Structure formats: structure tokens, C-alpha cells
Amino acid sequence: MKAIFLANRSQTVDYVYSTEAKERLKGLVDIDVDTVYSQDDLEANPEKFKDVEYIFSTWSMPGGTEDKDDFARFFPNAKALFYAAGSVKYFGQHYLDKGIRLFSAFAANAIPVAEFTMAQILLANKGYFQSMRMVRRGHYDRAVEYSKSHQGNYNSKVGIIGAGMIGRKVIHLLRKFKLEFYVYDEFLPKSAVKALGAKKASLEEIFSECDVVSNHLANVPATVGIFRKEHFASMKKNTVFINTGRGAQVNEPEMLEVLRERRDICALLDVTIDEPPAEGSDFYRLDNIFLTPHIAGSQANEVERMAEYMIDEFERVLAGKTTQYEITQEKFEKMA
């Protein structure tokens, strides 16, 4: 057995790896595409996996956040692990420590997030979200005036916080529109920001000057609670904050305090610290908050792209070609 599927829930493998993807893998390596091995299988029969060279996985990979066990120890001869999903943060270090090459479909997962964000930015600049709610409640004329008070998608200022894979894709998708881009990213030099067609800015500048602010920061300890009361309070009239990053990056009590006072500004939140927020929370009560259930990332047909990216990468490994999505130790330390 040269390759295996590894996940604690076999349905996630079936969801991400289509029948066509599995057939493609069978043509490349000795793998039983009908069997998915779990943490229990590893622990019950560790000798069974000593000859495995390649591991394919996706969501529900053994090694959850609360479980610090080193499941890489079951694969003494493994050469590479291909993770058809995004962040490898919760399990990856053990594999890197053992010299097992690690690949992630983070770039594939970035595409739908960027598309989702682009759509929200374009709609936000038209006052779509609040005006839709006003019309539904019978305030048609008020909705018209509210929408007209927005800048539209011509010469508006868009703040991108975090110019990693997703933040850069958002800018690329929006380049066809005449927008001004402000970027906050401590790791990106001014020259790189300029190459994106953007202006390097501080958090304070972005919140106080932009018409829409979109968060794409990496989820690391340094970014926890980075968005505070003063940032939201400084937002211009009728501006919008979008979060498809992580809820932990927002000081939620302070944000809610401002949103209670400033009904003109709006928050589009695909992520919160608790998902879902507690029953009765102001996240549900405030008219200027729009919640979605963490749907920006890959779903439905979109998940198949993640598997395709990893099989493409596997083919490059087998052919000795340059790979595109390998997670080195340096990348691992910087990624979300």
C-alpha cells in the first residue's frame, strides 16, 4: 500500500475527492480509493502503515486543535502529505519535523473567498445590504436615499487588511473597476503594494478613509483582537466592514458598542468568535449587522478544485517538477 486516504470522517473525503479525482489517483499510484483510514485505524494497527509513502487528506485530518498527538509517527517512510483544504496549522508541524513534504490547497480555497468578498464589496458600495432591509420593511423611499448616499463603484476607496493569497486575489478581481485600494500588511514592502496598484496604509488610515474595509489577516496570536473600538468609531458615514478572516481578530464587545451607537455603518460578518453567536446576542438584534454562516470558503462543486490542485501537485512531485503549493517551515510559521 503506497498511498492512502486519511481522515476521521470518510464522508469529507467523498465530498472533496470526486469519482473522477479518485480514478485519476488510481492511475498514478497504488491506492485503495474506497477506503479512508482514521485515527482509530492508525492506533489499532500501526504496522499497517509503515510502507505508506503518500497521504491524501482534507477536512477532519487526524490531529485536531485539542489533540496534540503526533500522528505522523505512524508513517516512518512517508514522503509527502497532500491536504485538499486550507490551513495545515493544527497538524502540520509533526510532519515537517519528520521531513515529510507538506502540500495544501490553500490557493484553491482562496478563490471562492476572494469571489465572495468581491461580490460583497461591489454591493456594499451601492448600499445594497441596508437598503434591501429597508425595502423589506416598507421604507422604499428611505432605501433609495440611503443607497444614493454611498459612493458606488467608481473612485471609491477599498481597504484590504492582509495582502496574502486572498487579499491579493480580491484586488486582482476588482482591478476592472475604477477603485482606489489601500493595503495594510506588515510583511509586504511598499514596492510590492505599489505593484498591486495599491497604497500602503496603516489600520487607522484604512478605517478612517475607506468606504469598505475587508479583513484577510492571517489567524496568528499577534492579530487576536487587533480591531478595536477606536477603529470602528473612526469609520466614515455609511461605510462597511467585511470579515471573512477570523472572528478572533475583532474585539467583539467593542465593535458591538460602536455598532449600537453608529447605525449608519454596517458589518458583514461571515465569521465570529463563537459560531454561531450565543442566542439573544446583538449579532442578531442589530439591523446594521449581516451574518452569514462561514460560507465564503469552498463548498459544493468548489471543493473539487481543492482535490484537483493536490493531484496536480502530486503529479509534479512524481515527475520531479517544481511544485507550487508546498508548505515549507517558513511558510508554515506565517500562514493562518
Shared domain check, 119 and 100: no
Nearest 5°: phi and psi at 200? -75, 130
b vs e for 302-329, b when ≥16 Cβ sit within 10 Å of the residue's Cβ? ebbbbbbbbbbbbebbeeeeeeebebee
Shared domain check, 126 and 34: no
The pLDDT score that the predictor gives to residue 168 is 96
Pairing label, strands 212-215, 178-184:
unpaired
Helix (H, G, I), strand (E, B) or coil at 5: strand
The pLDDT score that the predictor gives to residue 64 is 59
Helix (H, G, I), strand (E, B) or coil at 179: strand
Shared domain check, 115 and 239: yes
Whether pLDDT at 67 is above 60: no
Closest alpha carbon to 242 in 330, 158, 146, 152: 158
CA end-to-end span of the chain: 33
Shared domain check, 143 and 89: no
Shared domain check, 325 and 198: no
Whether pLDDT at 322 is above 60: yes
Whether pLDDT at 192 is above 70: yes
For residues 10 and 14, what is the distance between their CA atoms, to the nearest angstrom? 7
Shared domain check, 153 and 134: yes
Number of domains in the chain: 2
Shared domain check, 311 and 283: no
The pLDDT score that the predictor gives to residue 269 is 98
Shared domain check, 161 and 270: yes
- Report whether 131 contacts 143 (CB < 8 A): yes
**Structural domain span for residue 285:** 109-291
What is the torsional sign of CA 113, 119, 125, 130? negative
Q: What band does 69 get if pLDDT is binned at 50, 70 and 90?
A: confident
Whether pLDDT at 28 is above 80: yes
Whether pLDDT at 65 is above 60: no
Shared domain check, 217 and 73: no
Shared domain check, 185 and 74: no
Q: Which of 130-139, 177-186, 217-226 has the lowest mean pLDDT?
A: 217-226
More confident of the two residues 87 and 242 = 242
Region for residue 23 given its phi and psi (left: phi exceeds 0; alpha: psi -120 to 50; beta: otherwise): alpha
Task: Tell me the C-alpha to C-alpha distance, in Å, between residue 13 and each of 16, 22, 41, 60, 317.
Answer: 5, 10, 16, 9, 21
Whether pLDDT at 276 is above 90: yes
Whether pLDDT at 66 is above 60: no
Shared domain check, 275 and 154: yes
pTM of the entire predicted model: 0.90
Please state, for a pLDDT cut of 70, what percent of the chain lies above it: 98
Shared domain check, 304 and 196: no
Domain of 191: which CATH number? 3.40.50.720
